[in-house]
Structure 1
Amino acid sequence: MKRLAGRIILLWGWRRALVAFLAGALAVLAQAPYDFFAVCFVSFPLLVWLLDGATGEASDGWFRHLRPAFAVGWWFGFGYFLAGLWWIGS
């Protein structure tokens, strides 16, 4: 488990964004028609591991320091809400 966490923490670039997006999309399965709540025990640790590895240059100011964490949260939320849109359409 530590090896998996280490690999996820060290992801960078589009791979980090893709994992965050897929974790958000996976979290949608915990909602109404599926009610598969156990998937939250996979998707939220993925989010925490990604946020744990999100670092920026502290010397460049607070915005650049927090930008990688913002991007991870944005991609997770985008995947979550995009995958949840089918419910609105039906």
Structure 2
Amino acid sequence: MLTVMTSTQLPSLFTPLPTGRPLSTLKVLVTLSRHGSRRPNPISTTLCPNNVQNSESYHVPPEQLTEIGMEQMRLAGEEVRREYIDNQ
């Protein structure tokens, strides 16, 4: 996961002033991440013919996020929010 932050003053992003207020505030947070678990694409059955039964056991269309993948992405988003929003 790559997280990019912009601020009014870097690198002292979270250095507190004597009043306890930070020198700067977080203006923008952009997070790029890879997808969570998903169903294999259709070519996987050609490349791995012994794995056809596994590929057909998913309950979502090919290449789509599984329920586990959706949960993985939700948890990743919660962690980013906790780190950069809630802990301010």
TM-score (norm 1): 0.36
The structure with the greater share of residues assigned to strand is 2
TM-score (norm 2): 0.37
Higher relative contact order (CA 8 A, sep 6+): 1
The structure with the greater share of residues assigned to helix is 1
